[in-house]
């Protein structure tokens, strides 16, 4: 349930939710989280529908099912925006917990994260047809795993 909080309070609560995310999902845990989200999402960005491995941090070998981290950009995004959680009537501790649960997180291309901004996933998808989705952030097909690894 959303309530009429002042903008300054929503901004402060958003900062607390983001700080809780960094604390809960520290750098070492975030690598595991990204790998788990990558597998759960079957190598697809939920924003543009393109393969994460075409421009992401994780490469997936289809034959072995193994993943390997490489130096590209993928972001962990909140499916329901931090801003929306900050607006809820929930106590801040509960808003932090629910906002930062793995079920509310998704792995997206960096450009898709910027495009989605503070909208929640459903709101963004309703407002954007396939023709408006970003195309420049990924290639037309998955890169060859061996080709990418040899460039490292």
**pLDDT tens, residue order, the chain (152 aa):** 556 789 999 999 999 999 999 999 998 898 899 889 999 999 899 988 888 875 544 555 666 666 655 535 788 999 998 999 999 999 999 999 999 999 999 999 888 888 766 555 555 555 554 434 443 333 333 333 344 344 43
CA distance linking residue 72 with residue 37, whole number of Å: 16
Phi and psi dihedrals of 30, rounded to 5?
A: -65, -35
Q: Is the pTM of this model over 0.85?
A: no
CA distance linking residue 83 with residue 118, whole number of Å: 6
Helix pair angle (7-24, 92-99), 10° resolution: 50
Which helix H or strand E contains 69, and what residues bound it?
strand 67-69
**Two tokens, residue 9:** 């309070």
């Amino acid at each position: 349930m959303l309530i009429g909080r002042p903008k300054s309070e929503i901004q402060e609560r958003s900062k607390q939710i983001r700080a809780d995310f960094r604390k809960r999902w520290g750098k070492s845990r975030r690598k595991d989280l990204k790998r788990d989200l990558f597998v759960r999402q079957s190598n697809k960005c939920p924003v543009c529908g393109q393969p994460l491995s075409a421009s992401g941090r994780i490469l997936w070998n289809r034959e072995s099912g193994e993943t390997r981290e490489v130096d590209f950009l993928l972001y962990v995004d909140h499916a329901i925006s931090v801003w929306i959680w900050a607006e809820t009537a929930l106590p801040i501790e509960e808003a932090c917990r629910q906002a930062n649960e793995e079920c509310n997180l998704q792995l997206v291309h960096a450009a898709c994260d910027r495009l989605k901004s503070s909208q929640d996933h459903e709101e963004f998808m309703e407002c954007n047809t396939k023709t408006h989705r970003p195309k420049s952030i990924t290639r037309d097909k998955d890169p060859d795993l061996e080709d990418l690894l040899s460039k490292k």
